[in-house]
Amino acid sequence: MELLVASAVGILTAGGVYLILRRRTFPVILGLALLSYAVNVFIFASGRLAIGQPPILADGAAGYTDPLTQALVLTAIVISFAMTAVIVMLALAARLATGSDRIDDGAEEET
């Protein structure tokens, strides 16, 4: 279980990092999405992995799973969803305005 979750986070992060280093906006956006999936699973796991437990303390319950990380993940999902929408629209606008979807295509070089 731990191995599965940890390797999922690792593989998603590795894929995300590879993709955000690409030159065109589309893979970069996909990479950002993968990174946000990785971090969502990671946050979820930071509350410890508990299988089949209720997220609240109840009489007679043998244990519980941390509800706070679930709330944090929900917040993070909402925010990353909105941010992805913003960058997709921006990338489309930049593509239409400049005729190129290169993300590094600057008229002047960065220092």
Partner 1 sequence: MNHLIILPVLLPAVLGAGLVLARRAGLGVQRLAGLAGTLMLLSIAVGLMVQATTTPAQAYFLGGWPAPFGIVLVLDRLAALMLVLTAALAVLVQIHAVATGWDARGTHFHALYLFQLMGLNGAFLTGDAFNLFVFFEVLLIASYGLMIHSGGAVRLRAGVQYVAFNLVASVLFLFALATLYGVTGTLNLADLAGKVAQLPPGDAALIRVAGVLLLAVFGIKAALVPLHFWLPATYANAPGPVAALFAVMTKVGAYAVLRVFTLVFPPTTPDTGALFAGLLLALALATLAVGAIGVLGAATLARLVAFAVIAGVGTLFIAVADFTPQGTAAALYYLIHSTLAGAALFLLADLVAARRAGDGLRTALPPIAQHGLIAALFLVAALAMVGMPPFSGFLGKLMILDASRGALMALIWPIVLTSSLVMIVGYARAGSLLFWKAHELGPRAPATPHPAQPLAFGAVIALIAALAALTVFAAPVMRYLDATAAQLHRPTAYIAANALPGVAP
Binding stretches for partner 1 (CB under 8 A) = 16, 20, 25, 28-29, 32, 35-36, 38-39, 42-43, 45-48, 68-69, 72, 75-76, 79-80, 82-83, 86-87, 90-91, 93-94, 97-98, 103-108, 110-111
Neighbours of 19 (CB within 10 A): 18
Q: How far is the CB of 50 from partner 1 (least distance, A)?
A: 14
Q: How far is the CB of 22 from partner 1 (least distance, A)?
A: 11
How many Cα atoms sit within 13 Å of 85 on the Cβ side? 5
What does the alpha-carbon distance between residue 111 and residue 100 come to, in Å, rounded to a whole number?
22
Q: Considering beta carbons, is residue 42 or 60 the nearer one to partner 1?
A: 42
Strand partners, 102: 24
